[in-house]
């Protein structure tokens, strides 16, 4: 059953606060979006997952035009690229979570499947995670690099920056992001142990 806008906002606020309270993001560095009808609702520029309220979301069109009073996150083009990829994608979450960022520094990661499947859950929940070369956050160069890779994987790890994870809805994206971060933690600890 399709959720109404209020239900989607309620879930998004819960997911954001959960990520913040458990140290999966800090400050105003993360952003989240979801599709509702012909609009995308995305966290406003400067919003913090720890204090997020429904009014911290602002709308943009599927063409990327601002429709709300508040300025959208500067990284809205990352979200738009995934919504354009598939009508099945209903939400996107981007954080700077610690283990995903640490793992992104490992040299010579594969472009299309960068996190080893030490456990089966990442592949089961999300699929493959591709890398996106480092470009300055919020830059057109980053958005161009992301668009070039958007069709190659199911989730993404921006080098030296953090994960970008889509889902069918906010909770699906949340669960996929959680699995990616946990898989990156396991991979990082095993890498440090030389395994």
Domains assigned to the chain: 5-192 (3.40.225.10)
Catalytic residue among 75, 135, 178, 179: 75
Distances, alpha carbon 108 to alpha carbons 49, 62, 150, 153, 184, in Å: 32, 35, 20, 17, 15
Residue 146: its pLDDT value, please? 98
The pLDDT confidence band at residue 32, using thresholds 50, 70 and 90, is very high
Q: Which residues contact 60 (CB under 8 A, 6 or more apart)?
A: 39, 40, 42, 66, 67, 68, 72, 76, 80
88 is catalytic: no
User: Which residues does residue 167 pair with via DSSP β-bridges, in sequence order?
Assistant: 91
Tell me what the mean pLDDT of segment 21-32 comes to.
Answer: 94
pLDDT tens by residue, 39-91: 999 999 999 999 999 999 999 999 999 998 999 999 999 999 999 999 999 99
Residue 68: its pLDDT value, please? 87
Catalytic residue among 10, 84, 121, 182: 121
41 is catalytic: no
DSSP 120: S
**pTM (2 decimals)?**
0.96
């Amino acid at each position: 059953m399709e959720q109404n806008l209020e239900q989607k906002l309620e879930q998004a606020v819960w997911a954001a606060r959960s990520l913040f309270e458990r140290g999966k993001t800090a400050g105003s560095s993360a952003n989240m979006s979801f599709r509702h009808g012909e609009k995308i609702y995305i966290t406003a520029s400067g919003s913090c997952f720890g204090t997020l309220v429904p009014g911290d979301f602002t709308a943009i069109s599927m063409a990327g035009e601002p429709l709300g009073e508040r300025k959208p996150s500067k990284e809205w083009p990352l979200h738009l690229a995934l919504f354009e990829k598939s009508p099945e994608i209903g939400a996107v979450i981007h954080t700077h979570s610690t283990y995903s960022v640490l793992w992104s520094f490992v040299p010579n990661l594969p472009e299309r499947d960068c996190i080893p499947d030490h456990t089966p859950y990442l592949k089961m929940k999300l699929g493959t995670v591709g890398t996106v070369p480092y470009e300055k956050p919020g830059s057109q160069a980053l958005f161009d690099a992301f668009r070039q890779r958007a069709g190659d994987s199911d989730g993404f790890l921006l080098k030296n920056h953090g994960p970008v994870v889509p889902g069918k809805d906010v909770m699906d994206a949340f669960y996929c992001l959680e699995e990616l971060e946990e898989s990156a933690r396991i991979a990082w600890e095993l890498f440090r142990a030389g395994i």
